Structures are given as structure tokens and as C-alpha cells.
Amino acid sequence: MRTPLLPAALALLSTLPPMAFGAAPADPAVSASTVAPALASTAQAGGAHPARSALARLLPRHHRQFMLVQVPCPPSGDYFTVAGVAGAVRVTGTSPAVILRGVDHYLKHTARVDIGWPGRSTSRLPAVLPAPRATVRKDASVAHRFALNDTDAGYSGPYRTWEDYERQIDLLALHGVNEVFVQTGAEAVYFDAFQEFGYSKAEIEAWIPGPAHQPWWLMQNMSAFAGPVNEGLIDRRAALGRRIVDRLKELGMRAVLPGYYGTVPPGFGGKNPSARIVPQGTWVGFARPDWLDPRDDMFAKVAEAFYRHQEARFGSATMFKMDLLHEGGKAADVPLADAAGAVMRELQTAHPGATWVLLGWQDNPSAATLSAVDKSRLLVVDGLSDRYDTGPSLDRDASWSGTPYAFGAISNFGGHTTIGANTAVWLDRFERTRTKPGSMLQGIAYLPEGTGTNPAAFELFTELGWSQAPIDQRQWFAEYAAQRYGGHDPHAAAAWELLRTGPYSTPAGRWSEPQDSLFTARPSLTATAAAAWSPRVMRYDAATVQRALAELIQVAPALRTSDAYRFDLVDVARQALANRSRALLPEIKSAYDAGNLAAFRSRAQEWKDDMALLDRLLATDERFLLGPWLADARSWGSTDAERALLEYDARSILTTWGHRSGSEAGRLHDYANREWAGLVSGFYAPRWERYLDSLDAALVSGDSPAPVDWFLHDDAWNRRRDTYTTTATGDPEAWATAALAALPPLPADDPAAGPGAGPGAGVDDR
């Protein structure tokens, strides 16, 4: 009988030291079906209930096979252990979030599956989870594992639901993050506080921009665009923000909230005559909000109201993110050291012992700022750790005078749908800096401007926070290929080796992201980028992506069923077509300049056909659809007028970005370009068709092409209310195969061009 054995087995499992969990039970009668539920039931006694709830969402079929135990955090910092037997995996950790990080380690290195952002291969898990081969302990390599750029709330989805944020938090915890910047609902604090300083609700509502543009308002770059907002929307967003903060706390993660550093609405000096106001001029075509001199007595009063209302709306916090004079703000005659000292003083008055988080970006933080405050209460999250190959950015210890900082990178701008990152630079520089004597590197900072588009980059970057030794880039990508699809496959290995050597090995220098697509650029025969600040040239050999696509198409049928495979197949095919745009446009220009109508028409038709093919490909995966982005925006509106305003906010951030001055003189148009189904067919393709047809007509007539007011053209689309599908349609494998067939063939004598060949083919995934 097996029943008497169960209590004894459980008692033994609970009392043995962690190192004892390497083997299966001696008596096979103790099966996974009896041990696992009992182990799961003990998890709550270990204080891991929030981790249990998250795990139930992440692994609904398998979460009961984990025993989750929270242990005290030692002075050395966070750690987790993984042990157990088949069907009964024991994970301990120093917080619920760290426990989830332990689960993630088990999934990758024992079960050989992946939960990525986005894409997962957990459908490949067996009914009974395999036993860890030995007890594993992993210690965090850094104390701060920070996530989310100031712009994330705008570029990743300003109208997300609680379910969306819950999924995001689960994924961040699973990947070892312990500090998260939370902006959602921050406008409510300004709304509440400034009513105490002479402003009506209507005045503040008119000052606050729409949710998609609020990140730049919080950074003191702009205001009053895509608004006004209303009190009902403000309250709903604040309630969502509070829910996010509370969930982070439940998981043992820290919510980083916006701090107060002097932003005031227009006319503050008129309503408060004693206040000293410093006008801030403009930011890429937008009028910046005014700055209240932090040395002024009024600053202390506003800061007190700000932090009081913030705590009432969002609860307590210990970390606050803010930057003085972001991207060209004007100090005038205000000494920055004095201003920074006053900002810190009011923060510490409201929250004794709090940490001021600053972004390492351009000339920020200034030497004056760092000189005036207690550096032990600062953390700089560096956005440029991988960008430059010369200059002071390579030695943050020196340039920031011993201030604690986190190694960070921005692997996409505007939330671009591009594959790649400077991953070799990450691995080299992080390890060298972490192990340098006297280094003040104390964290990592995952800072893409938009998240959820580049799973391999997210996976590798967050590994840095748990790496106590150098990571071998080639080995990591080989293992990732097997985990990503739930099993080793030579074609998957070859594909990811090609991607590693191409888009994921871009060098340091001027850029920290790959080039964007010319399909998303404003039409011009001389276009070299879609966004004004994007790379102008290919940053890797385009053939690596085309060959990787050919390999992915040949992955074994059993592995093609995973969600991760389907996402990657569409994404790699999308990138291969996007790369073709950079070779095809110069061919179109050459034909036009030569007056060769036949050649021009042939190349122009290929361009149009490629864009139509691209849209059909993207339509096969809901993560590449425009429809959900717009539907989410409409869902927040309570009237038709409000829904129209919110949809304009959501559309414009993708296209013109702002009003005419910001879009044109400020060069913000197409900054956030995305290759999404619906956006390609509804916005980008009609724009290119109009342009190419005008060139065709000019070749026939001998006249110059008709000029186009592109802002007017683009903004007309922003104001439309047409709907786009929210449901994926079509077969991703069929359309990816069609995309490959549409590309010019690679040289037949290239050793990487044949099936199953190429660098990395057959790499062992053990």
C-alpha cells in the first residue's frame, strides 16, 4: 500500500537539507500524483502565496507540482535553490518574486522550456515534471534589478488592462526583476496636489496630455496634447496604478514611483505670486512645462502636497524616479547643486531613507547634481552602457564620482519591431565592470523604450542580474534555441546561431539598436531610416536573417506547435522582408533617376507586393496586430467623444507623434514606427503607393512629382475611427514560407545557404 509511505516521504523531504534533493524517492510507489499535491499544500506555510498565485497563472497545468518556500534574505543578498524529485520540485527563495526566478531557472535548465516576453514553449512540458539532476543554488549578482524606461507606459501600451499588467509583473518576477518603475495613474497626484494651489479641475485636466503622451509630460518635455483628460479617467487609471503597486509589494518587489522635482502648470506664478518660476522653453517643437525653483519656499509646500497625495493614492514607496532638466531643460540662474539638494531634502522629509533614481542619459545626471546629495541615497540607471566605444560613458565610476549605478541598455527606441541588440557588448562590459575593484555597479536596468517585442534580448539581459561568472554568448544562444521551442533541433540551433552572429552581435559605437524598416519610413527615394534618430545603415549582414528564416522553416514539426516558435517565425520573416526594403529602395531610385519606366515599375511593384505580403504575414499573430492597440484605447472611453480623443492619442503616438511643429520641425514623425498588420495595410502601404504612383506619373509626363503635405496626410489617418481586426488570421508557416520565396535567393555556393547547414548546426544543447 502506498498511503502509509506518503507521510514518511513528505516528512523526509521537509527535513533533509537542500543538498539532499537530487534523487527520486527510493520507493516507486510514492508517485507524482500523491507527492505533488501534498508538497504544493505546504507552500503557503512557507509564505509564498503570491508566488503560488502567479505560478498558477503561468503554469496552470503544472503549478501543483512545485513546493514553494520563502526563506530569509541574508546580508549577501537574494538567492534561490531548486531541488526535488519528479513531479515534486522544491523551490526556495528570499521573496515570492525570487522564488519565481527559481522556477524559471528550473524550466529552462531542467524542463528545457521557456516562458518569454513574448512567446512560450510550455506546451512541450510532460504531464509529470522531471526531477532536477542536482540541487542548484543561484545568488543574485547585483542587488538592484530594475525594469522599465520612462517611456514604457507610452510605447508599450498606454491603455492596457489589469490583466495585461498582471502578466507583465509575472514575467518580470519570473526573470528576476525586483524594482519596477510605475507611472500608471501618476497624473492623479498632480491633479490632486495643484488644486491646493489655485487651480480648478478643468485647468489641470487641460494641462495633462492623453495617456500615450504622459511619460514625456512627467519628464517635463511637453503638456496639453491629445487631451483634455477627465476626472473619471484619472481616477480609473490611479486605481489601476495602485493595483500594480500593491501586486509588486505582494511579490516582494519594489515599486519605483515618480518623484517631485518642480514641474508646475501654466500660470503658477500668477496664482502664487511669491513663487520663483523658471520658463523651460521648448522640446522638439513642444512647449515645456515651467519649473518651480527648488530653492523657493513654495517648492517645499508643493512637494509636501505631492508626496502626501501620492501616498494616499498609491501607498508608501522607498524609491522615486526623477531627473532635473531632462533633454535640454534650462537652469537659468539656478545653481544645479542647490536645486538637487533641495529636491533631495524634500524627498527625505516625505520619505526618510528613500532612494532617488536618476536616468543615465546624455549629460544626466550632472556633476553638480551628484555633488550636492548623499550618494548612498542615489541610484543611476544607465541607458547608455552599451552604446559608445570611446569617452566617459565607458567609465561610469569616474564620470559619476562613485555614485551607485545599474548597467542598462535601450535595445529599441519607440518600441520598434526590430530583432537584435548589442548583446556581446552587454556580456563583455557588464562582467568587466562588475568585477572591477572598487566598482559602484550595483544593478542592471532593463530599459527598452517599449517592451514585449524582443524576447531574446529580454532573456539575456535579465540573466546578467543572476550571473556570477562570464556568460559565453555562443553557448547561451545555443541553449536558448533548445529552451525556446522545447527541445533540441539542428535547424533551430542553426537559425539562432545565425541570428547571434548577425542582429544580436551589433557593435558598440553610435547605436544601441538595429536599423528600422524603410517600409515604415516617410516616402522618399533617399530614405535611410524611418525615425530621425534611427541607424542610417544596416548594422549587420542581412543574409544572416534570411538564412535564419530558411532554417526556422525546417524545424521539426513537433516543435513548431509552440507559441514561441510561431512568434519567432513571424518575427524573423518580418525582419527579412524589412531588410529587403533597404536593398530595394536604392534600386527603385536608380531606375527613376535613369528614367527607365519599365525597371521602375517592376521594382515599385515588388515594393508594393512586399508590403502586402508583410501585412498578411503579420496578420497571423495577434501580437503584430494594430487592432488590439486601438480597441484598448476605445475601451477606456465612457462617451463617443472621449473614445475618439483616446483613439487619436493612441494612433498619433505611432505616426505623427504630435502636432505639426513637433512632428515636422521636431522630427518626431514615425519615431515609434511599428510593422503591425493593419498599420502596414492601412497607413504605410497607402502612403508609399501614393508616392510611387506620383513618381510613375512624373516619369510618363516629364513633370516633377506632385508635392504632398505628409503631416496632413498622416494626421488625417490619426483622426479616423475605422476599426481593425483584433483576431489573428492565416497560417504563419505558409506566409513565412511565402516571405522567404519572395526574397532574392542567396548564393548557392554559400555553405550556410543549404538546409540544415550553417554556423551552429547541430550544437549540443546539454
Extract long-range pairs of 654-657: CB within 8 Å, 24+ residues apart.
654/629, 654/679, 655/683, 655/714, 655/715, 655/717, 655/718, 656/711, 656/714, 656/715, 656/718
pLDDT in tens, 438-477: 999 999 999 999 999 999 999 999 999 999 999 999 999 9
Last residue of a domain, one of 104, 121, 138: 138
Q: Could you tell me if 675 and 453 are in contact, meaning their C-beta atoms sit under 8 angstroms apart? A: no
**Comparing C-alpha atoms, which of 55, 736, 107 is closest to residue 482?**
107
pLDDT, position 28: 28
Grid coordinates of 184: 500608471
d(CA 701, CA 711) in angstroms, rounded, equals 27
DSSP states of 449-483 as a string? Answer: SS-SS-HHHHHHHHHGGG-SS---HHHHHHHHHHH
Residues 649 and 607 grouped into a single domain: yes
Report yes or no on 641 lying in a domain.
yes
Grid coordinates of 225: 496634447
Query: CA angle 658-380-362, nearest 5°?
Result: 45
Beta-bridged to residue 115, according to DSSP, are 120
Report yes or no on 495 lying in a domain.
no
d(CA 35, CA 65) in angstroms, rounded, equals 8
d(CA 474, CA 497) in angstroms, rounded, equals 7
Report yes or no on 351 lying in a domain.
yes
d(CA 11, CA 7) in angstroms, rounded, equals 6
**Comparing C-alpha atoms, which of 455, 422, 440 is closest to residue 540?**
422
pLDDT in tens, 513-558: 999 999 999 999 999 999 999 999 999 999 999 999 999 999 999 9
pLDDT, position 34: 37
Q: Is the pLDDT of residue 731 over 90?
A: yes
Beta-bridged to residue 283, according to DSSP, are 286
Overall domain count for the chain: 3
d(CA 651, CA 718) in angstroms, rounded, equals 5
Cβ neighbours for 129, distance < 8 A, ≥ 6 positions apart: 32, 62, 65, 86, 87, 89, 111
Three-state SS letters, 410-427: CCCCCCCCCCCCCHHHHH
- Assign residue 539 the CATH number of its domain: 1.20.120.670
Beta-bridged to residue 278, according to DSSP, are 291
Distance of CA 582 to the CA centre of its chain: 26
**Comparing C-alpha atoms, which of 74, 188, 206 is closest to residue 140?**
74
d(CA 325, CA 363) in angstroms, rounded, equals 10
DSSP states of 51-91 as a string? Answer: HHHHHHHH-TTTGGGEEEEE-PPPTT--EEEEEEETTEEEE
Only one residue has cell 522640446, namely 283
d(CA 261, CA 265) in angstroms, rounded, equals 13
d(CA 110, CA 243) in angstroms, rounded, equals 34
3-state secondary structure of 726: coil
d(CA 649, CA 153) in angstroms, rounded, equals 13
Residues 233 and 353 grouped into a single domain: yes
Only one residue has cell 524616479, namely 321
Q: Could you tell me if 546 and 579 are in contact, meaning their C-beta atoms sit under 8 angstroms apart? A: yes
DSSP states of 549-571 as a string? Answer: HHHHHTS-GGGTTSHHHHHHHHH
How would you class 267 by CB atoms within 10 Å of its CB: exposed for 0-12, middle for 13-18, buried for 19 or more? Answer: middle
Q: Could you tell me if 347 and 383 are in contact, meaning their C-beta atoms sit under 8 angstroms apart? A: no
- Assign residue 102 the CATH number of its domain: 3.30.379.10
Beta-bridged to residue 407, according to DSSP, are 444
> Maximum CA pair distance of the chain?
94
Q: Is the pLDDT of residue 252 over 80?
A: yes
Report yes or no on 749 lying in a domain.
no
Residues 546 and 676 grouped into a single domain: yes
Residues 387 and 406 grouped into a single domain: yes
Grid coordinates of 593: 533617376
Q: Is the pLDDT of residue 134 over 80?
A: yes
Give the amino acid at 145: R
d(CA 507, CA 52) in angstroms, rounded, equals 41
Q: What is the pTM of this model?
A: 0.92
d(CA 594, CA 599) in angstroms, rounded, equals 9
Last residue of a domain, one of 114, 138, 162: 138
d(CA 107, CA 401) in angstroms, rounded, equals 41
Residues 123 and 197 grouped into a single domain: no
Report yes or no on 496 lying in a domain.
no
| Window from 32-41, 190-199, 617-626, 627-636 with minimum mean pLDDT | 32-41
Helix, strand, coil percent values for the chain (each to nearest 5): 50, 10, 40
Instruction: Give alpha helix (H) positions in 219-293.
Output: 231-250, 268-271
pLDDT, position 393: 66
Average pLDDT (293-309) is 98
Residues 122 and 149 grouped into a single domain: no
How would you class 185 by CB atoms within 10 Å of its CB: exposed for 0-12, middle for 13-18, buried for 19 or more? Answer: buried
Average pLDDT (323-329) is 93
**Strand 88-93 with 79-85, pairing:** antiparallel
Report yes or no on 620 lying in a domain.
yes
Residues 359 and 428 grouped into a single domain: yes
Q: How many CB atoms lie within 10 A of CB 452?
A: 20
- Assign residue 216 the CATH number of its domain: 3.20.20.80
Report yes or no on 484 lying in a domain.
no
Q: Is the pLDDT of residue 14 over 90?
A: no
**DSSP letter at 26?**
S
Average pLDDT (654-683) is 97
Residues 521 and 627 grouped into a single domain: yes
d(CA 374, CA 403) in angstroms, rounded, equals 9
Only one residue has cell 484605447, namely 633
pLDDT, position 389: 82
Residues 735 and 631 grouped into a single domain: yes
Give the amino acid at 275: A
Give the model's confidence band at 5: pLDDT under 50 very low, under 70 low, under 90 confident, else very high: very low
Give the model's confidence band at 12: pLDDT under 50 very low, under 70 low, under 90 confident, else very high: very low
Give the model's confidence band at 15: pLDDT under 50 very low, under 70 low, under 90 confident, else very high: very low
d(CA 503, CA 581) in angstroms, rounded, equals 16
**Comparing C-alpha atoms, which of 37, 47, 43, 35 is closest to residue 11?**
35
pLDDT in tens, 347-380: 999 999 999 999 999 989 999 999 999 999 999 9
Average pLDDT (175-198) is 98
Domain span holding position 376: 144-257+300-469
Report yes or no on 96 lying in a domain.
yes
3-state secondary structure of 694: helix
pLDDT in tens, 373-409: 999 999 999 999 999 887 766 899 999 999 999 999 9
Cβ neighbours for 326, distance < 8 A, ≥ 6 positions apart: 219, 220, 221, 359, 361, 364
3-state secondary structure of 486: coil
Grid coordinates of 371: 555633488
d(CA 138, CA 93) in angstroms, rounded, equals 10
Last residue of a domain, one of 469, 493, 515: 469
pLDDT, position 750: 56
Residues 35 and 12 grouped into a single domain: yes
Only one residue has cell 476605445, namely 634
d(CA 323, CA 331) in angstroms, rounded, equals 13
d(CA 713, CA 656) in angstroms, rounded, equals 10
Q: Is the pLDDT of residue 10 over 90?
A: no
Beta-strand runs (E) in 149-289 = 179-181, 254-258, 263-264, 277-278, 282-283, 286-287
d(CA 117, CA 435) in angstroms, rounded, equals 29
Only one residue has cell 533617376, namely 593
Residues 597 and 644 grouped into a single domain: yes
| Window from 1-15, 561-575, 704-718 with minimum mean pLDDT | 1-15
Q: Could you tell me if 97 and 251 are in contact, meaning their C-beta atoms sit under 8 angstroms apart? A: yes
pLDDT, position 390: 75
Residues 577 and 442 grouped into a single domain: no
pLDDT, position 190: 98
Phi/psi at 737 (5° precision):
-65, -40
Grid coordinates of 388: 559608445
Question: If you average pLDDT over every residue of the chain, what do you get?
Answer: 92
Cα dist from 460 to 59, 296, 325, 480, whole Å: 22, 46, 32, 9
Query: CA angle 656-662-668, nearest 5°?
Result: 55
